[in-house]
Structure 1
């Protein structure tokens, strides 16, 4: 018995379905070398983030902002003034002027920009939805020769993050950050 009056025909190609099944078969994991240092930043209501001039993490939430060191996870500054934080976000929601030091930084997030998705040496971050609506973050080096999509890719275990996700590399490519409303997951390269 057909419960739907107008059942839709599958619109994905065989190639797309095979790709989907390949991704769904991948295990959630930590990133590969050289992304060995992990920091989890617990927060709530995070809406955007960015990197200050020293590549510290700036998390912007409905209750202010914080600055955290990416290698140690040490919170360097926290301001709970939500009005001041809102006032320092640009009208196009692409920059934030940090109140404690007046640095203007680019931001990415749910209503902001999209972050840096590739490094100079070919590491690439991609947000995919193999188990929609659950987001997954795919990390791979696209400069590996010969390159084949997914062959050497990792799907990062997002730990405590769920729901909407944004991801981006720091400007130097030394750190990668995955942001959700519940905080951030940060990986840094071994030095």
Structure 2
């Protein structure tokens, strides 16, 4: 029934995890036990991380933790929102993760992220450069991540960073 997708599936299965292409860099991976959700601030590349261990803020352009709060936080989870802490304390952040939601999967200049499941439960995250599309021009795709449980993935509002979050941590990528 979906025979037209077989060449794409074959190509995806043959991909190995690779380094992100220029201008992207993998900046950091932070272990975060019990990660529940993540969300970007609209005015910066600061990421709010909510876990069973509390909340934290990461500067995704520097790959550095900014602040951490160890108190349990479960407010507004079903509304996909969280109260910021530290430099984000005056903001409500839209979240993506355990209860749904989503981060942007495309930048203004055309970079795209796709999450593909070919063999459940394994999920792979594919980075596509501008003018390359998974279903029509996948010649320049890069498999950058694979895991059995990807909670959230996507770009910041500026398009200068992106994140892949799992129950055990968050990986940060950025460009200048």
TM bucket normalised to smaller: 0.7 to 0.9
What is the total number of aligned residue pairs between the two structures?
A: 172
Return the match for 2:66 from 70, 76, 85.
76
Q: Give ranges in structure 1 of 5+ residues lacking alignment.
A: 1-11
Normalising by structure 1, what TM-score? 0.81
Output the CA distance in 2 between the equivalents of 1:164 and 1:61.
Answer: 14
1:8 corresponds to which residue? none
Q: CA deviation at 1:76?
A: 1.2
Q: CA deviation at 1:167?
A: 0.6
2:40–2:156 contact (8 Å) kept in structure 1 = yes
Return the match for 1:21 from 4, 10, 13.
10
Moved more, 12-21 or 58-67: 12-21
**Consecutive aligned runs of 4 or more in structure 1 exceeding 4 Å deviation:** none
Larger Rg: 1
Equivalences for residues 21-170 of structure 1 within 5 A? 21-52=10-41, 53-82=43-72, 85-87=73-75, 89=76, 91-93=78-80, 95-100=81-86, 101-144=89-132, 148-158=136-146, 162-170=148-156
Normalising by structure 2, what TM-score? 0.87
Output the CA distance in 1 between the equivalents of 2:160 and 2:82.
Answer: 22
CA separation of 1:122/1:57 partners in 2, compared to 1, >3 Å: closer, same or farther?
same
CA separation of 1:154/1:165 partners in 2, compared to 1, >3 Å: closer, same or farther?
farther
Output the CA distance in 2 between the equivalents of 1:37 and 1:114.
Answer: 21
Q: Give ranges in structure 2 of 5+ residues lacking alignment.
A: none
Output the CA distance in 2 between the equivalents of 1:69 and 1:90.
Answer: 22
1:176 corresponds to which residue? 162
Q: CA deviation at 1:128?
A: 0.4
Q: CA deviation at 1:166?
A: 1.8
